[in-house]
Structure 1
């Protein structure tokens, strides 16, 4: 049946890419790794051509943020922003365990889960357009934004996201992974918000992205070198934030959470200044809607089924390893002096 379904080269591109991803999953489930990878690669090539991701632009943006958002930048804005502590941001790479963390925290009596909210990127890009008529210049615009405007931006986030709050719990989660690009923006508009960095082994995380056909966005994920470079840029920026804003980000290493869930959950809740609650360990019984690719996984107790899924495909992953560079060997730490 799999052979009979091989995509016809004359089929429409969208139909072909959907079929390639479906065949990749089917061969993967059958442990036939060579045809699985061939179909994943073919589907990714089609989607990459459609989206035209420019890795150099992400790297340049991270370079600019590291140069701009220094210790002095944050110190000079210590009393800026909206002081409301309600939001909890879970960010990092897609497919890194952010949905699991949100599901665990949403079982706490003080924390509400919502979804991946678009508001932080919208506000940052809006600032760039308002200041320079170019959303991409938000980094530069942020350096010129007065304290009262930073407070207005924080208040705007709270106002825009209020519609997502369905309970009277005092804290709520925004789990848009790509908010790592806006970590500095979050720090100055909502200085009392909490930031959690969900991090997973780079090969598992990146290959999981490569196998995933997203409904929209995540253009970086459709090439092994691109997703590896994106992961490397993410680690590079978060290492910088750790250096200039020590203690402001709590990192959850996915494999540590799988190995010792209660200890990791207790540490996370302590960092959030919340007491441990047993309900958090029964997260898989929570019936709340989950709208991400991990929706099925979080309905099951913690398990290690997703660990090492890259290993049968290692012979084809050299472009990914090369793009990751020193990040791969340093994991779960960041490479020393990595900027």
Structure 2
């Protein structure tokens, strides 16, 4: 069919315009006369994916792979689909298959490493990124992704050497400078303050670059004890980051309040919550930067528990299930509609995908902090799951969030007013869960965790019905993965440096303090 390349091109234009059904009709026209046209099959798969029909998209992608003679790029597209479908056990064999085709293709090895990185297969990601760099050199984007995988795996010295290879004029440079600042504690003898100041003086291309450089400078100045200068840099970085976002904290607060209104103590009484669903699942949740990664460390060090990482699975499954009800019940909020879903089915699908993420281990941790939104739904779907809530001194927690540059997450963290309002709503939300679900959530305070670690760790093990093992208090082994902003700190011996660290900025955080205290959240100087 001589016109098919032009039609396929038109189909992708339709996808860019957000018209998947029109693109699908066009691909169907091509496939009627050329049923195994790989380009049309991929177009149809992409259209189904945009229309959130993943099963159909996967079937079409598999046909395209066969029709193309086993094109490795299409196999990687299939890998992305499998990840989105939570079919993680199928990804390692696919990775090995593509690796046999990628031995001399640096760009393909880079893409393969990226798939492994997204699947939290960091050692494999590092291997393929390294092999790609041997073939195509120090491509800045590749070097940055390699450094990030090393950071999560605890190879901070190597990551810093990688980042030093990124040219100052590359698009990744500013992000690299922030990552470099977070790899270790900076010292008077070894820091990048002068370099960062010079880069800021020269000017930046985008607000995102301005944010990255100022967050990096703030972090290094704080390490050096230059607290006033650090906070001044942080203010500039946070304002720049906020300017890149389209975020309204009222939407998150409304979502929390809707959950509170729907998931009452009475609602739990009318739902069947018995059975063995969730056996082996441990949810570690709370505000980000509250100590969740330290709990993950304690639980995984004994070898009895495997971390599945910070999974998006539970909220995604809940959203998918609610969408089917919302189509016919427009009068209900999503939270109220969620009470009508098939919770056992949700629980089964969650356990399947999450356990695959944990390598099939019987007991696993899901450490997505914002799962605190879903404590009620977790109880409905997974009545045997364990929930551990981390909380921390409110001002310390808020400051730890404010000083961290998150990429694509926690948009409330870069504005002190948004942060205060979000924290207040979170505090009220967790009080609701404890009242509506008494004795279902173990609360652990970060300050207790670092002051009396063995006492708290034993309490956590008892809650999870795990046999105590002294290895829980050991430092993480080399290569152990923590895919989180706290990846550097969690490898250190337990310390009290972060306790009341926000008090250095007591005056600078006055607006945050005033809002928190007005809401009844007590703060001590």
What's the TM-score, normalizing by structure 1? 0.90
Q: Which has the higher contact order (CA 8 A, sep 6+)?
A: 1
What's 2:246 paired with?
Answer: 52
SS in 2 for 1:35: helix
Larger radius of gyration: 2
Distance 1:81 1:19, change over 3 A: farther
* Aligned-partner Cα distance in 2 for 1:83–1:96: 28
The answer on whether the counterparts of 2:302 and 2:469 sit within 8 Å (CA) in structure 1 is yes
Deviations 1:121-143, CA, capped at 9 Å, x for gaps: 11122123222259x94312112
What's 1:129 paired with?
Answer: 323
* Aligned-partner Cα distance in 2 for 1:13–1:175: 31
Please state how far the C-alpha of 1:217 moved relative to its aligned partner: 1.1
* Aligned-partner Cα distance in 2 for 1:49–1:16: 11
> Is 2:357 aligned against 1:164?
yes
Distance 1:205 1:7, change over 3 A: farther
What's 1:139 paired with?
Answer: 335
Please state how far the C-alpha of 1:277 moved relative to its aligned partner: 0.7
Please state how far the C-alpha of 1:40 moved relative to its aligned partner: 1.0
Task: Trace 1:21-170 onto structure 2 (pairs within 5 A).
Answer: 21-79=215-273, 83-133=277-327, 137-145=333-341, 149-166=342-359, 168=361, 170=362
Distance 1:49 1:137, change over 3 A: farther
What's 2:434 paired with?
Answer: 242
Q: Aligned pair count? A: 326
SS in 2 for 1:310: helix
Distance 1:299 1:309, change over 3 A: same
2:372 paired residue among 180, 184, 188: 180
What's the TM-score, normalizing by structure 2? 0.59
* Aligned-partner Cα distance in 2 for 1:287–1:324: 40
20-29 or 170-179: bigger deviation? 20-29
The answer on whether the counterparts of 1:82 and 1:151 sit within 8 Å (CA) in structure 2 is no
Distance 1:153 1:82, change over 3 A: farther
* Aligned-partner Cα distance in 2 for 1:286–1:303: 20
Distance 1:303 1:124, change over 3 A: same
Distance 1:119 1:7, change over 3 A: farther
1 or 2, which has the higher helix percentage?
2
Please state how far the C-alpha of 1:17 moved relative to its aligned partner: 1.2
1:200 paired residue among 377, 392, 401: 392
* Aligned-partner Cα distance in 1 for 2:351–2:377: 14
94-103 or 220-229: bigger deviation? 220-229
Please state how far the C-alpha of 1:327 moved relative to its aligned partner: 5.2
What's 2:158 paired with?
Answer: none
1:252 paired residue among 444, 465, 469: 444
What's 1:12 paired with?
Answer: 206
Unaligned runs of 5+ in 1: 332-339
CA RMSD of aligned residues (A): 2.1
* Aligned-partner Cα distance in 2 for 1:256–1:327: 22
* Aligned-partner Cα distance in 1 for 2:407–2:257: 29
Please state how far the C-alpha of 1:81 moved relative to its aligned partner: 7.6
